[in-house]
Amino acid sequence: MEERDELELHNCEDCCDGDCDCNHEIEPERFSVTDEDGIEHHFEIIYELENDGKFYWITQEFFEGEDGEPIEDENESEYVVFRAEYSEDDDPVLYSVEDEEFEKVSVAWNKIVEEMLAQADDTEEEE
């Protein structure tokens, strides 16, 4: 193995260099949305899925304390779905999802959760 005298560290997650060739995708993990009443809501992306040719973000709302740190919420199992469309600059544009569209995405999300739980059970059984 070849030793290197200098090691250049490059954090691709925080990369803003448009000329960067590290072949990474930057996805936001947390974002905020201001509602019609001017109240800011903070969300954490749990999962991104594709359903019927559209992309959806499965998110969970979180609350911040005065120090900016997330506060635990007793409604942690509730989730919010946004349809994500991407602009020419690959910036996400989010849309509310309601009624029939929400039900279709929920069915797909529940199936994914069941598969994850089944895989976790299989892993535990192997150990």
Q: Are 60 and 80 in contact (CB under 8 A)?
A: yes
Residue 15 in any domain: the answer is: no
Residue 51 in any domain: the answer is: yes
Residue 22 in any domain: the answer is: no
pLDDT for residue 71: 74
Residues in Cβ contact with 31 at an 8 Å cutoff, skipping those fewer than 6 apart: 42, 43, 45
Residue 24 in any domain: the answer is: no
Provide the domain limits for residue 113. 29-126
Residue 17 in any domain: the answer is: no
Residue 4 in any domain: the answer is: no
Number of domains in the chain: 1
Q: Are 60 and 30 in contact (CB under 8 A)?
A: no
Q: Which residues of the chain have pLDDT under 70?
A: 1-28, 70, 73-77, 127
**pTM exceeds cut of 0.95:** no
Residue 10 in any domain: the answer is: no
